A = this chain, B = another copy of it.
Amino acid sequence: MSKRNLFYAQSGGVTPVINASAAGVIRTARAHPERIGKVLAGQNGILGALQEQLIDTSRESRRAIDGLMSTPGGAFGSCRYKLKSLDENRHEYERLIDVFRAHNIGYFLYNGGGDSADTCLKVSQISAQMGYPIQAIHVPKTIDNDLPLTDNCPGFGSVAKYVAISTREAALDIESMCATSTKVFILEVMGRHAGWIAGASALAASERGDAPHIILLPEIAFDQERFLSKVSQCVDRHGYCVVVASEGTSTADGRLLSDQGERDVFGHAQLGGLAPLLAGMVKEQLGYKHHWAVADYLQRAARHIASQTDVDQAFALGEAAVTLAIDGANAVMPTIERLSSRPYRWRIGTAPLHRVANREKKMPRRFITKDGFGITAAGKAYFEPLIAGEAYPDYQKGMPRYTRLKKVLVPKRCDPWSE
């Protein structure tokens, strides 16, 4: 079979370990020079293909590629850009084929979440529908952990570890001060549609009564009265209360609590996020001194405390995607299959992309305690192995050494792209 180049791109919100998947792709491709020519990485995801901004990864040293194993962010640039369907925007697909053909690209590896799986699926259909031979493989990645058919998604384990550790640490702080100071602490974490990240904070507790005392999940409708009553109960019992709230926390009518229009529940104009909103409720209704934190990008960039399991799986999925490409697969995604939780054993599986794209996996109800504010033993057993191991980066002068690539573009061969 003839030797063709491989296009790799990063898509959607980045993670602490998406670059480990890139390393898996590039190192595995380099090990198969008989089948794969160059790995050309899209600058800023699929836009790199449309705009013919292709990074020649063969110009990066082995050391630089290894450095990706411990570098957060998206080393090649990512994007939020969703291809329309073939019927709606045939022009875009013709452009992709022009660029692929000009650079002899036969493999399309797209590293992203649910929306990206959809883009990848559409590219996989080019072969059949437009007659250009290409194999599209999706490399899963999302801190939201909401892709179906895989035990978990690379990126999630590290964010889960960060959130669980931060919750345990902040709880020790509040516990020390609660006699005369802060009684309620609220940590807002990501997860707009599914509560996986907030749920993982449950690992912070090692004994009954430990924080987090309340977890707010998108899966459970928010009820202000029940929430405040639980906060009050916690403060009475433990002297303090730690709340971890998913940004996707919503009311029974399905509206985000943090997005109740111009005015919040108290009639205040709403500038901030969910954490200050909840803090306002606690202050006005219960009068407790409170503090709140919004982790935002810190949580999904915190490579300094990444999970070793997560790094290993991210690399393995990049590796598997190339192996699948070489084996002739198309429109598939390598997955993680859990064989057992204690001890954690897993292997690589595959899932057809049409069963992955645009489907969100919410947290199962059996992972959530009956009152909706906590995580069950079954949930903890699921989360626990995903945060195992500390994959520390190297340090220099007290700061982590993160790799920056040269990102040399290959010369353009097509006309400029116009939308």
Interface residues of A (CB under 8 A from B): 10, 13-14, 16, 44-45, 47, 71-81, 161, 164-166, 168-177, 179-181, 185, 187, 203-204, 206, 264, 268-273, 275-277, 279-280, 291-298, 300-305, 307, 309, 384-385, 387-390, 392, 395, 397-400, 402
Count of this chain's copies in the oligomeric assembly? 2
Chain B residues within an 8 Å CB radius of A304: 165, 169, 305
CB nearest to A186 among chain B residues: B296
Give CA–CA (A16, B166) in the complex, Å.
12
Chain B residues within an 8 Å CB radius of A389: 398
Q: Is the CB of B400 within 8 A of A179?
A: no
A303 to chain B, nearest CB (A): 6
A417 to chain B, nearest CB (A): 14
A237 to chain B, nearest CB (A): 17
Q: Is the CB of B14 within 8 A of A173?
A: yes
Chain B residues within an 8 Å CB radius of A277: 271
Q: Is the CB of A293 within 8 A of B291?
A: no
Q: Is the CB of A72 within 8 A of B297?
A: no
Give which listed residue, B166, B175, B268, B398, contacts A298 with CB less than 8 A: B166
Question: Do A170 and B298 form a contact, CB below 8 Å, given A180-B44, A392-B392?
Answer: yes
A60 to chain B, nearest CB (A): 16
Q: Is the CB of B280 within 8 A of A291?
A: no
Q: Is the CB of B305 within 8 A of A181?
A: no
Which of A44, A74, A293 has the largest count of B CB atoms less than 10 A from its CB?
A293
Question: Do A176 and B397 form a contact, CB below 8 Å, given A166-B302, A276-B272, A305-B305?
Answer: no
Question: Do A173 and B301 form a contact, CB below 8 Å, given A179-B44, A179-B77?
Answer: yes
Give which listed residue, B175, B276, B280, B399, contacts A203 with CB less than 8 A: B399
Question: Do A72 and B180 form a contact, CB below 8 Å, given A165-B399, A203-B399, A384-B397?
Answer: no
Q: Is the CB of B271 within 8 A of A169?
A: no
Give CA–CA (A296, B182) in the complex, Å.
12
Give which listed residue, B166, B272, B303, contacts A272 with CB less than 8 A: B272
Q: Is the CB of B296 within 8 A of A291?
A: yes
Chain B residues within an 8 Å CB radius of A271: 264, 268, 270-272, 276-277, 279-280
CB nearest to A277 among chain B residues: B271
Give CA–CA (A303, B298) in the complex, Å.
16
Chain B residues within an 8 Å CB radius of A76: 176
A357 to chain B, nearest CB (A): 20
Question: Do A303 and B176 form a contact, CB below 8 Å, given A203-B399, A272-B271?
Answer: no
**Known contacts A77-B179, A172-B402; 13 further A-B pairs (Cβ under 8 A):** A16-B169, A44-B179, A80-B177, A168-B400, A169-B304, A170-B301, A174-B297, A203-B398, A271-B272, A292-B294, A293-B298, A307-B398, A390-B398
CB nearest to A185 among chain B residues: B297
Give CA–CA (A173, B78) in the complex, Å.
9
| Sample (14) of A-B pairs whose CB atoms are under 8 Å apart | A14-B177, A72-B169, A73-B172, A80-B177, A80-B181, A165-B399, A173-B300, A203-B398, A271-B280, A272-B273, A276-B276, A305-B305, A384-B397, A390-B392
Chain B residues within an 8 Å CB radius of A73: 169, 171-173, 175-176
Chain B residues within an 8 Å CB radius of A179: 44, 47, 77, 79
Q: Is the CB of A72 within 8 A of B392?
A: no
Q: Is the CB of A388 within 8 A of B398?
A: yes
CB nearest to A210 among chain B residues: B404
Chain B residues within an 8 Å CB radius of A45: 180
Give CA–CA (A295, B279) in the complex, Å.
15
A304 to chain B, nearest CB (A): 5
Q: Is the CB of A297 within 8 A of B291?
A: yes
Chain B residues within an 8 Å CB radius of A168: 399-400, 402
A344 to chain B, nearest CB (A): 10
CB nearest to A15 among chain B residues: B173
A383 to chain B, nearest CB (A): 9
